[in-house]
């Protein structure tokens, strides 16, 4: 969604790189570029004015004039301001002290409230709660039926005592409401207490435009249920209308948080940058796709990093932790280091990656991938399915030992997987090349063409189980070593120790390779 904004901001920063000092003219120029970028992204004008004023004030201060790299410092200032207007800190749901916690959804028709109710219910269930969805939208045709289907897919209970409008009947003022949504919402809270559901999510009716009837109905439901959270669901593709719509709902319903839907769209995304600043209400959740699992807590700092093409590694790590088993990952690392990683292991890793979601979205979370957005947009997810089909068409012995796959076997595998022999050849060839490179990196050999790497914790050849230990040579050229253990120990104590950091790359030569520690975040990611 933020592709256009991302490109324009990168273009604005390009002129600053390589400058040891920034003049007022440089700051004005980059501020002008940022202003155009934000306005083009449909960010509200008052928000843009405040944003640019803060950036220029800080850019002319001591933190930039005294910085070793002024360009990087300006980027940091823009990042800080983006985080600020997006809400600063991550806002979590405030759960009631005495269950059930009541969450009411409000918004325009077409914003995606019903689907989002299912996503929120599924997310709450994954957090250990027992949610119940409430079908209080009795106006939109088949809205109750849709919520039942979504709730069934999410594995969440749905409270729907009224069938609602199933015929699409119209009245003079609009779609007919069949039943009393206020009574449905009130009864739902009582039912949740009886059936021990600790969270109630109320799906209310929306309209194609803001009107008094919608606001009164939403206000009546709020008064009847006294919700702990009122979430305003807004279509992130709505553009400049987002501000007016949000202000109207704030006055009529007084929501406590915002949920952005359709963040995977191709609109310019100004709503996300405007709503929080204009209403003062935090963005709490974001929906990034049509699937029920494409929904998560909104993190302002991570969204700012994505906009500035700094990636979102923390979200990527969290998604990986959900699907990758730690023991299996450790076992796979041992196999890579020992050269016993097979196509069966590779298939297992591919299955786990598929559970994380779209491959192009995962790659897009890596820093600097903005320059490859065209390639990511053209990435065919079906290629992953093709690789899986080829491996599944192999026999267990062929997966364990791909070297036995000759011409006739490749033809059989291609027929079984519905692919070409060239596809099988390409997979086998690349697997052998990747296995060699991974084994070399695991042993500390580094990436080909980049030189050697110091041994990584748990991956050094000397510590690997079953690895052959090199013989230690205590003799030094031109100096005799006594055969008496006592004299040899005394000589070793008398010899001056080598200074730390004397080795290549600044590492201590006296320390073992496995004493080298990577930063925790990078070590966890690896």
188 is in an annotated binding site: no
Q: What is the distance of C-alpha 53 from the center of its chain?
A: 31
Query: What's the order of all strands across the beta sheet hosting 229-235?
Result: 157-159, 131-135, 199-203, 101-106, 229-235, 257-261, 283-287, 295-297
Question: Helices 181-195 and 212-225: crossing angle, nearest 10°?
Answer: 30
Tokens of 213: 């009837």
Residue 35 CA to residue 100 CA, distance in Å, equals 45
Is residue 263 marked as binding? yes
Q: Is 368 annotated as contributing to ligand binding? A: no
Q: Judge whether 264 is annotated as a binding position.
A: yes
Cα–Cα nearest to 85, from 15, 32, 34, 29: 34
Q: 90 among the known binding-site residues?
A: no
Q: According to the annotation, is 214 in a ligand binding site?
A: no
Is 76 assigned a ligand-binding role in the annotation? Answer: no
Task: Judge whether 109 is annotated as a binding position.
Answer: yes
Instruction: Tell me: is residue 187 an annotated ligand-binding position.
Output: no
Instruction: Flag whether 482 is marked binding.
Output: no
Do the Cβ atoms of 517 and 523 come closer than 8 Å? Answer: yes
Q: How far is CA 242 from CA 274, 307, 385, 414, in A?
A: 8, 19, 39, 52
Is 108 marked within a binding site? yes
| Helix count and strand count (H, E) for the chain | 23, 8
Is 206 annotated as a binding-site member? yes
In whole angstroms, give the CA distance from residue 526 to residue 522.
6
- CB contact set of 397 (below 8 Å; sequence gap of 6+): 404
CB atoms within 10 A of CB 249: 25
Nearest to 255 by CA among 270, 269, 245: 245
Q: Is 316 annotated as belonging to a binding site?
A: no
Q: What would the two tokens of residue 440 be?
A: 């070399």
Alpha-carbon distance of 154 to 268, in angstroms, equals: 30
CB contact at 8 A, 400 and 421: no
**The pair of three-digit structure tokens given for residue 473, joined into one six-digit string:** 């040579």
Residue (of 109, 116, 60) closest to 209 by Cα position:
109
Q: Was 250 annotated as part of a binding site?
A: no
* 374 marked as binding residue: no
| Residue 338 near residue 466, CB atoms below 8 Å | yes
Q: What span, in angstroms and rounded, lies between the C-alpha atoms of 160 and 135?
A: 5
436: annotated binding-site residue? no
With tokens 């990986």, the residue in question is 320
User: Distance of CA 15 to CAs 19, 29, 79, 298, Å?
Assistant: 9, 9, 17, 32
- How many other β-carbons are positioned within 10 Å of the β-carbon of residue 497? 6
- Structural tokens at position 313: 């590694």
176 assigned binding-site residue: no
Structure tokens at 72: 């990087």
Residues that constitute the known binding site: 107-114, 203-207, 261-264
What residue numbers does the annotated binding site for GTP cover?
A: 107-114, 203-207, 261-264
């Amino acid at each position: 969604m933020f592709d256009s904004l991302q490109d324009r901001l990168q273009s604005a920063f390009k002129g600053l790189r390589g400058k040891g000092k920034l003049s007022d003219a440089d700051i004005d120029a980059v501020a002008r570029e940022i202003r155009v970028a934000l306005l083009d992204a449909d960010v509200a004008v008052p928000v843009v004015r405040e944003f640019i004023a803060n950036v220029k004030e800080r850019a002319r201060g001591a933190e930039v004039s005294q910085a070793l790299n002024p360009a990087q410092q300006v980027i940091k200032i823009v990042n800080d301001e983006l985080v600020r207007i997006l809400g600063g800190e991550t806002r979590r749901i405030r759960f009631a002290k005495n269950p059930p916690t009541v969450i009411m959804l409000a918004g325009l028709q077409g914003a995606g409230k019903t689907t989002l109710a299912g996503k929120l219910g599924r997310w709450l269930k994954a957090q250990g709660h027992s949610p119940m969805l409430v079908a209080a939208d009795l106006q939109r045709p088949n809205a109750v039926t849709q919520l039942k289907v979504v709730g069934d897919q999410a594995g969440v209970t749905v409270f729907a005592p009224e069938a609602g409008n199933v015929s699409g009947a119209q009245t003079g003022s609009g779609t007919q409401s069949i039943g009393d949504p206020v009574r449905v919402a009130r009864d739902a809270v009582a039912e949740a207490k009886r059936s021990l559901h600790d969270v109630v999510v109320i799906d209310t009716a929306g309209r194609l435009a803001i009107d008094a009837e919608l606001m009164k109905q939403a206000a009546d439901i709020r008064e009847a249920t006294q919700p702990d959270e009122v979430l305003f669901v807004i279509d992130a593709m709505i553009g400049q209308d987002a501000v007016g719509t949000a202000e109207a709902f704030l006055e009529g319903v007084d929501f406590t948080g915002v949920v952005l839907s359709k963040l995977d769209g191709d609109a310019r995304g100004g709503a996300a940058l405007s709503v929080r600043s204009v209403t003062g209400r935090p963005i709490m959740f974001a929906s990034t796709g049509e699937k029920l699992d494409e929904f998560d807590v909104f993190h302002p700092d991570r969204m700012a990093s994505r906009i500035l093409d700094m990636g979102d590694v923390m979200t990527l790590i969290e998604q990986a932790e959900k699907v990758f088993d730690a023991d299996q990952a450790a076992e796979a690392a041992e196999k890579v280091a020992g050269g016993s990683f097979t196509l069966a292991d590779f298939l297992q890793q591919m299955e786990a990656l598929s559970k994380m979601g779209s491959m192009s979205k995962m790659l897009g979370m890596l820093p600097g991938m903005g320059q490859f957005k065209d390639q990511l947009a053209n990435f065919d997810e079906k290629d992953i399915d093709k690789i899986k089909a080829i491996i599944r068409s192999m026999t267990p012995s062929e997966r364990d030992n791909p070297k036995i796959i000759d011409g006739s076997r490749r033809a059989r595998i291609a027929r079984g997987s519905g692919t070409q022999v060239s596809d099988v050849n390409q997979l086998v060839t690349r697997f052998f090349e990747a296995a060699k490179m991974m084994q070399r990196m695991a042993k500390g050999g580094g990436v080909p063409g980049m030189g050697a790497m110091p041994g990584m914790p748990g991956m050094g050849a000397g510590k690997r189980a079953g690895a052959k230990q090199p013989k230690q040579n205590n003799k030094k050229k031109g100096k005799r070593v006594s055969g008496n253990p006592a004299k040899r120990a005394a000589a070793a104590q008398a010899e001056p120790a080598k200074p730390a950091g004397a080795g290549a790359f600044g590492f201590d030569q006296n320390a073992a390779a496995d004493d080298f520690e990577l930063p925790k975040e990078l070590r966890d990611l690896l």
